[in-house]
Amino acid sequence: MDDFERELKAGFLEEASQLLSDAEQCFLVLESNPGDGPTLDKIFRIAHNLKGSSKAVGFDDIGVFTHRWESFLLKLKNGETAVDSEVINLLLVCNDHVRNMVDALKQDLEARTDSSELLSKLDSRIAGQAVSANVVPEVPVVPAPEAFSEEAFDAALSDPPFADSLPAGFQGGFEGEPPPSKEELELLKLVNDSLDDLPNPVLEVTKEEENLVIPEPEPIVPVVLAMPAPVLELKPKETRKSSANATAQEESIRVSLGRLEKLINSVGELVILQTVLREQSLSGGSHLLRKTIHQMGKVTKEVQDISMSLRMVPLRQTFQKMQRIVRDTSNMLDKRVSLNTTGDDTELDKTVLENISDPLVHLIRNACDHGIERPEERVKAGKSETGNVMLNAYHQSGKLVIEVKDDGGGIDGDRLMKKAIEKGILKPDAKLTHQEQIHLIFHPGFSTKAQVTEVSGRGVGMDVVKTNIEALQGEVLVETELGAGTTFKVFLPLTLAIIDGMVVKNGSSRFVVPLSHVHETLRPTAGDIHSSTGMGEMLMLRGENLPLFRLSGLLGQRRAAETVAREQIAMVIRYSSQPFAVMVDDILGQQQVVIKEVGPEIRALRWMSGSAILGDGKPAIILEMNELVKPEGRGVA
């Protein structure tokens, strides 16, 4: 297999993955609206494209299966088979089967898959459904001719089709030309069979053209007729122009993730060098040099924004996958659950998106299993039989927030605490706040289910959610109300590569705090700071009492008395549900920093999210303030 063929096959597999995701979403739409003609048309086009393209690149297993799948879809499209839950189940199983074939081929381009069992089910459905007598297909379909025989060729030559509609004296060609030979007919058959296996392009047509009905003849043996083909004039011209514009807007190019990573790394180094140049120009140099470096900074920022946007992908495909999760889980639990999504066009770094998929699956299943009540319980509580799960995404303070909300029974904190005591997680005399009770669901091995099922009961789901989200420097919060439902809020960084940071100084050390975490800064007076029994120092800010921490104390730094007594600056952090303030010696400025991973020996310190190279070429630690103020998260710098 040469490089060109390998690249061709890889390109098909990438495109097939997207087509299968689109098909799955169409099946779910079709389940709620069985008579949706455009959705049926789209599904049929997807199957047809998969069939033709797979055969063209040499994936015969996919070609054979999708050919039969297409035949079944044609019966749905023509109204010969009713769309019901059993049909949707079969379509989803077929979709999963093709997806598994594609995944196997991505690992090994020579992989083979046995589809005989599923093909038998398709054949049974194709043959076992009666054709509705009152359904007229919108587009007549001409079945492929049977194998050509000598008799068929002779008959075609002696009695050409369309003979009744040809001009008098027509002999199968232009004036003076002989009729086609058998060799020509054989060549036409070869071309015809090859064209049948090619993918059909999707044509843009007007409403007038869509309603145009072209009568077709009965199935015939093809024969070369040397006569001009009828020409259809496409109108209006504006339609063709708008279609061309739409095509131009959708043009794209595939780039390997490896190349993209190299670009991001190079841009990151460029940002560092530009920062060093800017720092050097401030200490001397001509006005023209400083002006040039300032302009270069603008261009660098633009290049950085563009390169970072290449990593950003919408949440749409991930959200669409959750539709299938809700359907399968609710059917398994014999519940009625509807999923509503908003903000699926919100974009997120590809690396973050790939790692958030599994936590979202756990949260969605948890909402269907633990959150939504059974239909009879909902009716008894004055609710509709169908439960609602809302999946929402939006930006807030430089972070991406994903909400999973249900209108179920809510979480009973006392019940969780009782279960934790039974399992030995808590001592019988333990005292917990309501929020601490709720967060017991994230404890490893904790589950309220008495029996293990396919959906839950193993006590690993919510633990995985918390672990994976925190690995992305994110956070998950829970809001719940008995009888009204539960909301899980997942806070995630938009990217893990470059951030806007505030450079602060504490003693002789410099640190970087993500700018999105800092709500405001101020220099408090002695009267603004007071002590509270059991709470420590508090900062009075416009009538609001905020817990006050000193960065030197959080990091375990020993400070001279005169340094501590000096006026400091307070950074107000409102990133988490509980706002607080942190005192630092000075704020040196703001700059974009490239996040560098720390070594494995200090990676366990969760208050250290990475390191960065500052303008003078020296490193600084990036602080995760939410983790640093937690008693269990503090360490010694």
What pLDDT was estimated at residue 206? 45
What pLDDT was estimated at residue 420? 85
The pLDDT confidence band at residue 456, using thresholds 50, 70 and 90, is: low
Please state, in angstroms and rounded to a whole number, the distance separating the CA atoms of residues 368 and 391: 12
One domain, residues 480 and 572: no
Query: pLDDT tens for residues 36-52?
Result: 888 888 888 888 888 88
Query: pLDDT tens for residues 481-536?
Result: 998 999 999 988 777 667 788 999 988 889 999 887 888 999 988 888 888 777 78
Q: 3-state SS of the chain: helix, strand, coil percent to 5?
A: 45, 20, 35
What pLDDT was estimated at residue 84? 86
Query: pLDDT tens for residues 263-305?
Result: 887 887 888 788 788 878 877 778 888 888 888 888 888 888 8
Residue 144 lies in a domain: no
Length of the chain equals 637
Please state, in angstroms and rounded to a whole number, the distance separating the CA atoms of residues 517 and 493: 11
pLDDT at residue 118 is higher than 80? yes
Q: Provide the domain count of the chain.
A: 5
pLDDT at residue 417 is higher than 70? yes
One domain, residues 263 and 307: yes
What pLDDT was estimated at residue 596? 75
Nearest to 43 by CA among 78, 13, 10, 84: 78
- 109 with 9: CB under 8 angstroms? yes
CA distances to 143, 195, 320, 592 from 216, rounded to whole Å, are: 12, 19, 40, 66
Q: Could you list the residue range(s) of the whole structural domain that residue 326 is in?
A: 313-493
CATH number at residue 383: 3.30.565.10
What pLDDT was estimated at residue 220? 39
One domain, residues 307 and 322: no
- 46 with 29: CB under 8 angstroms? no
Query: pLDDT tens for residues 242-258?
Result: 444 444 445 667 777 78
Residue 237 lies in a domain: no
Kindly give the interhelix angle for 60-77 and 37-57, rounded to the nearest 10 degrees: 160
Nearest to 308 by CA among 178, 473, 495, 458: 495
- As given in the structure block, the two tokens for residue 304 are 């950085």
CA distances to 194, 228, 298, 479 from 182, rounded to whole Å, are: 19, 21, 72, 78
Measured at the CA of 113, the angle between CA 111 and CA 114, to 5 degrees, comes to 155
The amino acid sitting at 362 is: H
Helix, strand, or coil (residue 349): strand
Percent of the chain with pLDDT over 90: 14
- Residue 505's CB: how many other CB atoms inside 10 A? 16
One domain, residues 416 and 558: no
One domain, residues 67 and 109: yes
The pLDDT confidence band at residue 467, using thresholds 50, 70 and 90, is: confident
51 CB-near residues (< 8 Å, 6+ apart): 62, 63, 66, 67, 69, 70, 197, 199
Average pLDDT value over all residues in the chain: 75
Scored b (16 or more CB within 10 A) or e, 413-422 reads: beebbebbee
Residue 238 lies in a domain: no
pLDDT at residue 140 is higher than 50? no
The amino acid sitting at 160 is: P
Mean pLDDT of 454-471: 68
State the first-to-last Cα distance of the chain, in angstroms, to the nearest integer: 56
Query: pLDDT tens for residues 572-594?
Result: 988 666 789 999 999 998 877 77
Tell me whether strands 619-623 and 509-514 are parallel, antiparallel or unpaired: parallel
What pLDDT was estimated at residue 454? 53
3-state secondary structure 377-390: HHHHCCCCCCEEEE
Residue 159 lies in a domain: yes
Q: Which of 441, 468, 493 is the last residue in one of the domains?
A: 493
Residue 139 lies in a domain: no
Q: Which of 448, 472, 493 is the last residue in one of the domains?
A: 493
One domain, residues 467 and 370: yes
One domain, residues 74 and 10: yes
Please state, in angstroms and rounded to a whole number, the distance separating the CA atoms of residues 132 and 134: 6
List the strands of the sheet with 509-514, edge to edge: 586-594, 498-506, 509-514, 619-623, 608-613
Please state, in angstroms and rounded to a whole number, the distance separating the CA atoms of residues 322 and 391: 9
Nearest to 435 by CA among 481, 366, 386, 381: 481
One domain, residues 472 and 334: yes
DSSP state string for 458-492: SS-HHHHHHHHHHHTT-EEEEEEETTTEEEEEEEE
Partner residues linked to 389 by β-bridges: 339, 406
- As given in the structure block, the two tokens for residue 8 are 């061709």
What pLDDT was estimated at residue 157? 42
Residue 612 lies in a domain: yes
Residue 250 lies in a domain: no
What pLDDT was estimated at residue 181? 53
CATH number at residue 536: 2.40.50.180
One domain, residues 194 and 265: no
Nearest to 118 by CA among 161, 65, 167: 65
One domain, residues 481 and 345: yes
What pLDDT was estimated at residue 190? 53
Please state, in angstroms and rounded to a whole number, the distance separating the CA atoms of residues 328 and 345: 24
Residue 594 lies in a domain: yes
CATH number at residue 76: 1.20.120.160
One domain, residues 277 and 328: no
Percent of the chain with pLDDT over 70: 73
DSSP state string for 522-559: E---GGGEEEETTTEEEEEETTEEEEEEEHHHHTT---
One domain, residues 388 and 508: no
Please state, in angstroms and rounded to a whole number, the distance separating the CA atoms of residues 607 and 623: 6
Please state, in angstroms and rounded to a whole number, the distance separating the CA atoms of residues 358 and 364: 10
